Amino acid sequence: MFNRVYEYIQKHNMLKPGDGVVVGVSGGADSMALIHLLCRMREYIPMALYVVHIDHGIRGEAAKEDALFVETMATEWGLDFFLKETSVPKLAKEWGLSEEQAGRKVRHDFYQEVRRRVNGHRIALGHHRDDQVETILFNIIRGSGLAGLSGMEPVRDGVIIRPLLEISRREIEAYCRREGIEYRHDQTNEEIIYTRNRVRHMLIPMIEEHFNPSFSSNLTRMGDILRDDEAFLRDYSRDAFDRDATIKEDEISFSLRDLSQYPEAIRRRLLREGLLRLKKNLVDIHHIHIDGILDLVKESQVGSTLDLPENIKVRKDYRALILYRDDPEEDLPVSDFEYRLKVPGKTWIPQLNMSITLEKLTNSGVLNGGNGCIYIDADRVRGELYIRNRRNGDRFRPLGMRGTKKLKDFLIDRKVPRHKRDSIPLVVDRNNIVWVAGYQMSEDYKVTQKTRRLLKMEIRED
C-alpha cells in the first residue's frame, strides 16, 4: 500500500521536498494510516508534518478521549499538535447550516489557520476510495451537475491533497493491523440517521450485492473520466469569462450578444463563475437559479429582473445581462418630487442627493458644458423654473428635432434602464421640458446668434 500511495502522490504532484504539511487527524483508521504513511515517506520526500485535531462538541467524553489519543500519538511521534474545541451544533444554528456543512466549514477554516501559522504548503486529508464512492452517489441522489459527479479532487486549489483516494477502507484497516497502528472508532459513523451513513451502510452494499459487485470501482473510474471533462470545461469557461465579462464593484455584466454565441453548457458556467465572483461562494445557488437566469435572457423583456439568494439580483438591459449585489435602500422607488429653482442660486434635491445651480450670464460665444451642464436662452423661459421627475404624458422637443417626442420613447431610444427612469431630473418651465438633465436639452431653448441673456444650468451629485 505504501508504494501505491507514493505513486499516487507523485502522479498528482502532491508533495515536493521541503513542504510543510498540515494533516487532519481525527483518530480514525484513515487519518492514522495517512499520518503513519507520511511519516514513513519523509525518507523519500523530506517534509515537516503538523497534526491538527478538532473536537466538534458533538460526542461528549468520547470526543475528549479522541483528542487525547491524537495528542499522545503526536507527542510520541515527535510531531507538533494543534487542537480546536468548538460546538458545531451551536455554530450550525448561528450560520443557518446543517451540522455536516458547519463541521466542514470549521475544519476547513482551522486547517487554513494552522497552515498560515506554520507557513505550511499543503493540507493532507484522509479521504479514501469509499468516501469518494459515497460522495459521487450522494451527489447523484441530490441531482448534481458534472462537478459533483466527478467527486473529490486529488488536489484542490493547489493546497488540499488526498493521498488515499485510490485506497479502500478495507485496505486501510488491514494496513493499520499489519503495522500495529491503533485507532479510534467513531460510533456516529454507524448511525443511519445521517444520509451519508445510509448511503454507506445500506445503498452501496445493496447495489454491489444485487446489481454489480464492481460498482465502487466503476463509479470511481467514472469520476476520474468526468473530472478530466469538467477540468477542460472549467478552464475554457474561465478563459471566456475573463475575455467577455465586465467587472465593476458589486456588479458583473455580460453582453447579450456574447452570451448568445456560446452553447448552453458554457453559458451556465459563465453565470456560475459570475455569481461566484460576486458572492464569493455558491452556497444556496442551485440549478433552478441558473435556469431562471437563462429564461430571463431568452424570454423576458428589457428591464426584467430576477431575485437570487443573499440580495443578488439579475437584470436584463438592452444589450447586457447584469448580475449585481442589491442595496435595499437604493432599490426603494424614487417618490415624486418638484422644487422651484432659485435663479440665480443652488437648489438641493434630497430624493436624488443632487443639487442644481443656475447662473445668469451674457452671450460670449461658443459654449459647451457637457452632459451635466447646459446653457439656454434665458429670454425663452416662460414663468418660473422647476425641477421634478417624470409624469405620465411628458413630451419634449429634443435638440435638433422639428417635432416633439414622448419622454418615454426618448429614454427607451437612449437605452436608459427602466429602473433608472424615475430618477432622471427634468428642468421645466410653465410650458415645456427645458432639459432632461444629463441627457438632452430642448430645441426650443437653444442658444442662437440672437441670444442676449444666458442661463447656465449645472447639476451634480452632492
Higher-confidence residue of 93 and 190: namely 93
Q: Identify the pLDDT of residue 197.
A: 74
Residue 457 pLDDT class (50, 70, 90 cuts) = very high
Of 11-15, 184-188, 320-324, which gets the smallest average pLDDT? 184-188
Q: Kindly tell me if the per-residue pLDDT of 231 is higher than 80.
A: yes
* Distance from C-alpha of 325 to C-alpha of 449, rounded to nearest angstrom: 50
Q: Which of 3-7, 30-34, 190-194, 242-246 has the lowest mean pLDDT?
A: 190-194
Domain definitions of the chain by residue range = 2-224, 245-325, 338-461
> Are 2-224 and 245-325 the same fold in CATH?
no
Return the number of other C-beta atoms located less than 10 Å from residue 116's C-beta. Answer: 10
Selected from 3.50.50.60, 3.40.50.620, 3.40.50.1360, 3.30.420.40, the CATH number assigned to the domain covering 2-224 reads 3.40.50.620
pLDDT at residue number 61? 87
Query: CATH assignment of 245-325, given 3.40.50.300, 3.30.465.60, 3.40.50.410, 3.20.20.10?
Result: 3.30.465.60
Residue 3 — very low, low, confident or very high, per pLDDT cuts 50/70/90? very high
Q: Tens digit of pLDDT for each residue in 127-168?
A: 999 999 988 988 888 777 888 889 999 999 899 999 999 999
Q: Is 307 exposed, middle or buried (0-12, 13-18, 19+ CB in 10 A)?
A: exposed
Residue 153: predicted pLDDT: 92
pLDDT at 275 over 80: yes
Residue 388 · residue 339 · CB < 8 Å:
yes
> What contacts 322, CB < 8 A, 6 or more positions away?
251, 252, 253, 314, 315, 316
For residue 18, the model assigns a pLDDT of 94
Q: Is the pLDDT of residue 329 over 60?
A: no
Residue 398 CB neighbours (<10 A): 19
416: left (phi over 0), alpha (psi -120 to 50) or beta: beta
- Pick the closest to residue 313 from 302, 304, 303, 326 (CA basis): 326
Q: What pLDDT does 325 receive?
A: 84
Q: Lowest mean pLDDT: which of 4-8, 230-234, 281-285?
A: 281-285
Question: What pTM value is reported for the model?
Answer: 0.64
- Bridge partner list, 308: 312
Secondary-structure class of domain 338-461 per CATH? alpha beta
Give the rounded percent of residues in the chain with a pLDDT score beyond 90.
57
For 333-385, write each residue's pLDDT tens digit: 677 899 999 999 999 998 888 899 999 988 766 566 667 899 999 999 999 99
The answer to whether residue 56 scores a pLDDT higher than 80 is yes
Pairing verdict, β 453-461 and 373-377: antiparallel
Q: 306 with 293: CB under 8 angstroms?
A: yes
CB 161 within 8 A of CB 123: yes
286-303 pLDDT, tens digit per residue, is 888 999 999 998 888 888
Average pLDDT, the chain: 89
| Tens-place pLDDT, residues 170-207 | 999 999 999 999 999 866 555 555 567 788 778 888 88
> pLDDT tens digits, residue range 371-419?
789 999 999 999 999 999 999 889 999 988 888 999 988 888 887 877 7
> 3-state DSSP call for residue 237?
helix
Of 159, 148, 123, 99, the closest CA to residue 50 belongs to 123
Position 72 scores a pLDDT of 95
Q: What is the average pLDDT across 449-461?
A: 89
How much is the average pLDDT of 205-232?
Answer: 90
Reported as a pLDDT band with limits 50, 70 and 90, residue 236 is: very high
114, 23 contact by CB (below 8 A): no
- Inter-axis angle of helices 215-244 and 264-279, to 10 degrees? 80
Which is nearest to 195 in space by CA: 137, 245, 120, 271?
A: 137
Q: pLDDT tens for residues 16-54?
A: 999 999 999 999 999 999 999 999 999 999 999 999 999
| Predicted local confidence at residue 318, as pLDDT | 83
